[in-house]
Chain A
Amino acid sequence: MKPFRLSRRAFLRGAAGVTIALPTLDAMLDGRGRLFGTAHAQPAPPPVRLVTFFFPCGTVLEDWTPSDTGAGYALTPGLKALGGTQAVPSVREYVNVLSNLRKQEYEDNVTEYSAESHLRGTGTFATGVGVSPDGLGAGGPSVDQVAVQALKPDTRFPSLAVALGKSNGVNLSHISWSKARTPIPPERSPRALFNKLFSTASPGMPNAELEHLARRRKSVLDTVRGDLSKLQSRVGVNDRSRLEEHLESVREIERQLVFVPATTCQAPEAPGTGLAPPEAAKLMMKMLTVALQCDLTRVASFQLYQRQDNLRFPWLGIDRGHHDVSHDTTPLGLKQQTAIVAWEVEMFAHFLHLLRSVPEGGGNLLDNSLVFFANEHSMGRSHEYKDMPVLLAGRAGGQVRTGRHIRYPVGTPYANAFVSLLNYVGVPATKFGTYGRSPLSGLDT
């Protein structure tokens, strides 16, 4: 087969639905998975990837927290999928279960506008600060965006926000925030994510035509940016943040629409639509894995539904909504709640397995990643926040020792986890948010 020559301009974002199957590019890669022609004297270690992963409506904490600590802890009913399922071998050696992390910021900035419990729970998932007191969003940037802003990765997408569930409102439908009140709208379906990652302007368009298209798009966007810059200096204080965001957005899409770095990715098959949650979740995670593997991005967030979806779980035999179940304190209600949590952990384990299955460097992609898995509340029935259910997976390129249950001193700030995450991805942070004052101890190898 005639080798396919990739022009650096060969990929322009186009209207959704137009896709091409990218050829296999093994021939272009050396044994270490890098493009020929970019070898360094010493191979650079793969970058550490960061993924935040959210699940809603709390847990039955009694069925979550292991009673013993250390490496040999007994898996609880909520965590059992970590030990392996029919489809996925055990991932527990890659995971640390963290307990006694207190999300004190949950109680900050509570007013009549911001009081709703799930607003606060979701809005403080990874920001380290109380929500905005007017109920208009999170109170600050989430850890994934802090990492992006500090590291400015030269990837096609600075980060990827992915979610399942319908967007219903500002507060419950977003877990990535670039600053206060400024959410990053996620892709909400496997098809939408696929199009974002893999669709192009026109298959087979000759390079010369692509050049024209790229040049024209750039001209238009330059004019638009000119309007924005001039307007910025004239508007009042109430508009500055939003106009700044608009300008930043136009800069960012210029990368997608005008110039796109070459990628070494094999696009997966285009997904169908109308998939049941387990299939949809697995497809989203598969595409996220491809995006990380191919360096389309190094930072991502994944929201596995939210309270407003009140998701039903027919494949678990539960035909009423998640939120209703989470507030049912009968023995049946608690059992169902734990079954739901167990399924969510199963999805998490599936994602870890996907990452683990990608060889990279001398190990695999999970060795080079950090995945932060947590809920909005600890106890679903009472919206507690004092002992948050957190799983931290991945070895951050060998920096993190995994496979244990670590019980921290009571009241250890939840946001200390974010200090750790930033440090492991290469951001020298010493604090995070209102209460994060040091990295979590005991994680380093």
Chain B
Amino acid sequence: MRTSSRGHGCIRALLLFAALGLAACKSEQPSTPAAPIENEEDGGTPTDPEGPGKPLQCGGVRPGPQYSRRLTNAEYESSLQTLTGGSSPLVAQLPPDGYAEEFSFNNHASVLRVSSAHAEVYALVAEAVAKDVMASAARREKVLGCSLSKGAACLESFIRSFGRRAWRRPLTEDEVGALKTLATSEQDTAVGASLALQAMLQSPHFLHRVELGAPSADRPGYHKLTGFEVATRLSFLLLGRTPDDALLDLAANGSLDTAEGVAAAARTLLSARPEQARESVRTFYSQWMSLQRLDVVQRTPSRYPAWNTELRDAMREEVNRVFDHFIWEGERDLLGVLTARHTYVNPVLASFYGLTPPSATGWGQIPLEEKGTRGGLLTMAGVLTVTADHEGVAPILRGKFVRMQLLCKPPPPVPQSVPAFPEAVPGEPERQRLARHRSDPSCSGCHTLMDPIGFGLEQYDAIGAFRLKDSEGHPLTAEGSVAGMDPPDFRGPAELSQRLRAAPETSACVVKQVFRWATGRFEQPADACALETFTESFRASGNDLPELLVTFAASDAFRFVDPSLSLFLEAP
């Protein structure tokens, strides 16, 4: 019984990609062992990876692999704050959480590791935090919950209560025993408590979100996560925080053992902690848009005199506000960011855009003219800047951005050796130089997929300023095309944005990106039905992102794991 996107009345307005011949750049076929499975005609129905175009029996959402995830540096620090009432400046010495090349988020499970550099910082931080806690009556009370004058009884109750919070589950008797042994190895109960605290804050049970679950009776072959593991997932996904006592209590009384219970808890968290939820979801869209690159962008001052830290910060804030609006306010239609007819500016950004700021200081919303140069994601300076890596190759990178981040249609892998970029002929239009690049048969397979999209955005320079002529003085037409789109040609970002918004590929891609961020891994064939189901609900809800998170949380993909699946892709 196949669930069809047609049956749910989703928008199939645009056949964006007709039979798209993805020619390899050279003769070799790229191997994509875990390429997202989509029948391109349908824009979203999963097909059998073995057979050509044969629809799967999508019998239901399947769980993903079983794996633990180390706390990200941000989660670690916020947990310290929540648990002990403070952190330590030493946390800044942790190696930064890294980005794998094609994974937009710095929370891939494989990248989150405990090297000796990490272990050393965790140890020194635990020592420093324990010292500060014991020196402050208020923090000592919060952490211990009893008076040390009561001796071993207080040590035990502290270990149990703090341990439950820190490890996000009740400790076993063996675990309590080991920590008691440690704590009572010292004459001085204060020292003993400090040692137990340090051990709990360095334990793998604190540093990793351990997920073991238990074999499931009603889903043979899968493990069902415990209520505490579900609570941990919910709290970190929706709020970026360690689960609080109330949520742990829900886990303890079985409320998180059903899909309905999880959905209800998810909704409660979102409505009770809107600020934390916004902060958490911001980590999704800001990385989806690679805004972190704004911190390392360099622009030659003589060519881009407007570029400075105030402008950079304003660009970032604009993207944040636009996304926040379409995610949390009004119709909650995330795809509205593409075609927004308003934006948010402060005087710096307004001046850069040539618009009148709504107030003399600070931020405000302004409407954007229909035929103006601004409106939607693809005209926002922040996005245009991070997709213009080195000056002159913006069309390639912007084309890659649209394909990778908005359509989830990666170009085939680059050829094994890249022929030299054609020498610039003085006075030659930028577009022509790149066209010569693409005429080389070993390059054209890829570049016909990327560059022409970026040409449609050529009227925005490497810091997103609008321009009618390129650096050589040639007029720019903003004529572009998307290979495989029907019809392929478009002119300017407004038209491209409309077509992207209407395309089924886009909503499917958004769901895929959210899925990656939420799970900390790439999707794989086993996720096909889950993605299909989530995409249908996402579309049916009008592209409501918070609702998508609730749908995900209530699904089998969230509450179960499949221990037979691998987290990693193997060599082709």
Contact = CB atoms under 8 A, between A and B. Distances in A.
Interface stretch (A103-111, A289-297, A344-352, A412-420): A103-111
Interface in A286-344: 308, 310, 312, 319-321, 323-324, 327-330
Contacts of A16: 90, 93
A185 B95 contact: yes
B535 interface: no
A319 B186 CA distance: 61
Nearest to A112: B410
A411 interface: no
Given A182-B113, A246-B204, A167 B522 contact: no
Contacts of B33: 111, 133
Given A219-B185, A249-B115, A111 B413 contact: yes
Contacts of B117: 184-185
Interface in A228-258: 228, 231, 234-239, 242-243, 245-246, 248-250, 252-253, 256-257
Contact of A242 (B113, B198, B205, B414): B113
A319 B299 CA distance: 10
A130 interface: yes
A239 B123 contact: no
B493 to A, nearest CB: 25
A171 B100 contact: yes
A181 interface: yes
Interface of B is mostly: loop
Interface string B197-214: 011001111011010100
A395 interface: no
B296 A116 contact: no
B114 A245 contact: yes
Contact of A329 (B67, B416, B423): B423
B423 A135 contact: no
A12 B32 CA distance: 49
A110 B412 CA distance: 10
B199 A308 contact: no
B195 interface: yes
Interface string B161-199: 000000000000001001100100110000100010011
A327 B66 CA distance: 43
A137 interface: yes
A115 B413 contact: yes
Contacts of B99: 168-170
B182 A223 contact: yes
Interface stretch (A32-40, A42-50, A72-80, A378-386): A378-386
Contacts of B423: 329-330
A119 B101 CA distance: 7
B261 to A, nearest CB: 26
Interface in A133-192: 133-137, 166-171, 173, 181-185, 192
A216 B68 contact: no
Nearest to A108: B571
A308 B290 CA distance: 14
A203 interface: no
Nearest to A383: B418
Contacts of A132: 568
B67 A239 contact: yes
Contacts of A330: 423-424
A68 interface: no
Given A182-B113, A231-B210, A15 B204 contact: no
B120 interface: yes
A220 interface: yes
A169 B98 CA distance: 4
B568 A134 contact: yes
Contact of A223 (B115, B118, B199): B199
Interface size class of B (residues with CB under 8 A): 35 or more
A116 B195 contact: no
B66 A319 contact: no
B566 interface: yes
B420 interface: yes
Contacts of A217: 123, 127
A224 interface: yes
B417 A235 contact: no
Interface string B388-415: 0011100000000000000000101110
Contacts of B113: 182-183, 242, 245-246
B298 A310 contact: yes
A111 B119 contact: no
Which residue of B30, B110, B392 has the most chain A CB atoms within 10 A of its CB atom? B110
Contacts of A219: 182, 185, 195
B62 interface: no
B124 interface: yes
Given A15-B90, A173-B98, A330-B423, A111 B32 contact: yes
A220 B182 contact: yes
Contact of B102 (A135, A173, A324): A135
Contacts of B210: 231, 235
Interface of A is mostly: loop
A238 B110 CA distance: 9
Given A169-B101, A170-B98, A238-B67, A226 B178 contact: yes
Contact of B119 (A234, A249, A324, A383): A249
Interface string A109-129: 111111111010000000000
B203 A114 contact: no
Contact of A231 (B35, B205, B391, B567): B205
B420 A329 contact: yes
A253 B566 CA distance: 30
A237 B419 CA distance: 42
A241 to B, nearest CB: 9
A92 interface: no
Contacts of A231: 204-205, 210
A234 B421 contact: no
A385 B414 CA distance: 14
A246 B114 contact: yes
A26 interface: no
A265 interface: no
A16 to B, nearest CB: 6
A210 interface: no
Contacts of A15: 90, 124, 128
Which residue of A220, A243, A324 has the most chain B CB atoms within 10 A of its CB atom? A220
A382 B208 CA distance: 42
A170 to B, nearest CB: 4
Contact of A249 (B66, B96, B118, B205): B118
Contacts of B96: 167
A279 interface: no
A412 to B, nearest CB: 18
B253 interface: no
Contacts of A168: 98-99, 296
A383 B415 CA distance: 10
B135 interface: no
A136 B34 CA distance: 14
B202 A236 contact: no
B298 A253 contact: no
A166 B522 contact: no
Which residue of A133, A226, A236 has the most chain B CB atoms within 10 A of its CB atom? A236
Given A112-B102, A220-B198, A117 B418 contact: yes
A327 B422 CA distance: 9
15 contacts: A110-B416, A115-B413, A135-B100, A216-B195, A219-B182, A238-B66, A238-B67, A243-B68, A243-B204, A245-B114, A252-B119, A253-B119, A253-B120, A329-B420, A383-B418
Given A115-B414, A324-B390, 6 more contacts: A134-B110, A220-B182, A224-B203, A242-B110, A252-B119, A324-B391
| 10 interchain residue pairs of minimum CB distance | A115-B413, A185-B95, A249-B119, A170-B98, A169-B99, A134-B569, A238-B67, A246-B114, A238-B567, A324-B390
Interface of B: 30-35, 65-68, 70, 90, 93, 95-96, 98-103, 108-111, 113-120, 123-124, 126-128, 175, 178-179, 182, 185-186, 191, 195, 198-199, 202-205, 207-208, 210, 212, 296, 298, 300, 390-392, 410, 412-414, 416-424, 522, 563, 566-572
